[in-house]
Amino acid sequence: MALKLLLAIFLSIAMLSIAHSAKLGDIVFDDKAASLKKAGVGPAVFPHGKHEDIYKCDDCHPKIFKDKRGANDVTMQKNMSGEFCGNIECHNSPKAFPLYQCKKCHTEKKK
Ligand code: HEC
Ligand code: HEC
């Protein structure tokens, strides 16, 4: 009985830590579909896992991005004025490729 309980506790802790350490995959930004189409670029793909490898969660959350899919109203105007992807530590700095390299972010096929 006690053994079963111990085993159950052990298993739930193991499962929790696996769930916790799993990296998020690619997040597609495509809610501005009409303007993307007009500009002739595809949706932007944000490789979350790749950014997790380089930065800490609180480098981005919550000060640059809310940690909820679709909760950030990202536009190029905001990116260019230093918000979101265009933060001065990020794609508006020598640390990462610049904002004019459109196709490095807008990687998904045009719709
Ligand atoms: C370089 C910036 C950056 C870093 C570092 C980062 N995130 Fe995120 N995260 C984002 C962006 C961008 C989104 C997408 C937000 C959106 O869709 O508007 C996101 C989304 C999320 C979401 C929502 C996922 C969903 O499906 O709704 C969670 C949860 C999250 N991040 C947790 C984390 C955790 C935990 C870490 C650290 C291990 C982390 N993030 C590191 C930028 C980052
Ligand atoms: C660092 C990544 C990144 C780069 C580089 C980038 N974008 Fe974006 N862009 C985004 C994200 C993220 C969005 C949000 C898309 C959405 O939510 O639909 C966006 C939105 C857009 C939109 C729709 C919203 C708006 O502002 O009208 C257009 C059009 C656009 N980008 C064009 C471009 C063009 C043209 C370039 C190159 C000059 C470019 N982008 C470079 C990440 C990037």
Structural domains present in the chain: 24-105 (3.90.10.10)
Tokens (6 digits) for 51: 């950014």
Tokens (6 digits) for 106: 């807008």
Predicted pLDDT at 18 = 58
Q: What is the pTM (predicted TM-score) of this model?
A: 0.89
Q: Which atom of ligand 1 is nearest to the CA of 59?
A: 5
Which residues pair with residue 1 across a beta bridge?
none
Tokens (6 digits) for 64: 């640059």
Q: Please tell me the distance from the alpha carbon of residue 55 to that of residue 28, in angstroms, as a whole number.
A: 20
Q: Is there an atom of ligand 1 within 6 Å of 31 CB?
A: no
Amino acid letter for position 90: C
Mean pLDDT, 10 residues at a time, over the chain (111 residues)?
A: 78 67 93 95 97 98 97 98 98 97 93 71
Strands (E), the chain: 26-29, 44-47
Other beta carbons less than 10 A from residue 37's beta carbon:
13
Query: What's the CA dihedral at 27, 31, 37, 41 to 10 degrees?
Result: -20
Q: Is there an atom of ligand 1 within 6 Å of 69 CB?
A: yes
Predicted pLDDT at 20 = 64
Predicted pLDDT at 27 = 97
